Amino acid sequence: MEFTQVIGIRRSIRFFDPDRPVEREKIQKILEAMRLGSCAMNAHWLRAVVVYRDDLSAETFEKLKLPVAGVIMELAPVHIYCYGDMSVIAKDHGASPKQLIDVGALAPSHGWTHRFVDEFVWPQLLEPLSTSEAYPVAMAFDNGGCANQGLLMAYNEGLGACWTAFDTEAAKEAFGIPDDWVPHYLLNLGYPLESKEAGGQRPRPPFEQLYFEGRVGNPFRRDEAVVEKLRQEGMLQATAPLPGRQQELRDLARKLGLPE
């Protein structure tokens, strides 16, 4: 599938086939995509725990659920709990940027040398960052990019997915989460019962309210020719609500024995 099409078909799917398992191969592909995400200084903070819904005891499952997210978790056969490992930089001591230098990803032409890492990058940037209040924010930014690559891989593999919150204390106890792992979100995975359009692409604010050129207040001009091209490529699709969506929701609720 073309990249633009993968972006175009992505929806937050909340109705899964609860009885159709997800192939292990597809789960691995999702994790492989996460692993290849861009990380500052090659400090790969993202950690994930794959949990199969049917392997959880009823007691543990109930503890993990939060309101609204509970129904999604019940329907999704696979849950991937995502975390950020706060200990990465402290344990690394500048080894990761040196590795990037050695493999040619960071070049001397840009000032990168082992000595530069030892004398400046580690003592003045990385080590202070590891104890800074900004550290969790920087880590979460990178982890979001890595996790989203896994999300898109799920759709490329014909699956549906939805990010939800979860009870972090219950997960810590159930899955042996270390104290220095920061909880992010839970990726619910399964085969969608919803139609491919799932009611249409979700409404978004106007393009010009989000992006600027040169300075805030000067909107980045949206070229309608580009918009039309992206429509033809399948990235921009009809916006919700599509006709028949409410009926689809009622039909899905009846099929799954959920409130209408």
189: phi then psi, degrees, rounded to nearest 5: -125, 145
- Inform me whether the pLDDT recorded for 68 exceeds 90: no
Range of the domain at 112: 3-193
* Averaged confidence pLDDT in the chain: 96
Residue 51 has a pLDDT of: 98
Question: What CATH number does the domain containing 49 carry?
Answer: 3.40.109.10
Q: How confident is the model at residue 114 (pLDDT cuts 50, 70, 90)?
A: very high
Q: Would residue 239 count as lying in a domain?
A: no
Question: Among residues 93, 85, 99, 81, which one has the least CA distance to residue 45?
Answer: 85
Q: Would residue 159 count as lying in a domain?
A: yes
Cis amide linkage into residue 241, ω under 30° from 0: yes
Q: Would residue 61 count as lying in a domain?
A: yes
Q: Would residue 204 count as lying in a domain?
A: no
126 Cβ neighbours under 8 A, 6+ residues apart: 41, 89, 92, 94
Please tell me the pTM assigned to this model.
0.95
- Strand bridging mode 160-164 / 181-190: antiparallel
Question: Among residues 159, 184, 170, 165, which one has the least CA distance to residue 76?
Answer: 159
Asked whether the CA dihedral 210, 216, 222, 223 is positive or negative, the reply is negative
Burial bucket for residue 78 (CB in 10 Å: 0-12, 13-18, 19+): buried
Question: Among residues 12, 48, 16, 45, which one has the least CA distance to residue 32?
Answer: 48
Q: Would residue 258 count as lying in a domain?
A: no
- Inform me whether the pLDDT recorded for 141 exceeds 90: yes
Q: Would residue 230 count as lying in a domain?
A: no
> What gap in Å lies between CA 171 and CA 115, rounded to an integer?
42
Question: Among residues 12, 25, 151, 18, which one has the least CA distance to residue 78?
Answer: 18
Q: Would residue 254 count as lying in a domain?
A: no
Burial 149-183 (b: 16+ CB within 10 A, else e): bbbbbbbbbebbbbbbebbbebbbebeebeeebbb
Q: Total domain count for the chain? A: 1
Q: Would residue 224 count as lying in a domain?
A: no
Q: How confident is the model at residue 30 (pLDDT cuts 50, 70, 90)?
A: very high
Q: How confident is the model at residue 249 (pLDDT cuts 50, 70, 90)?
A: very high
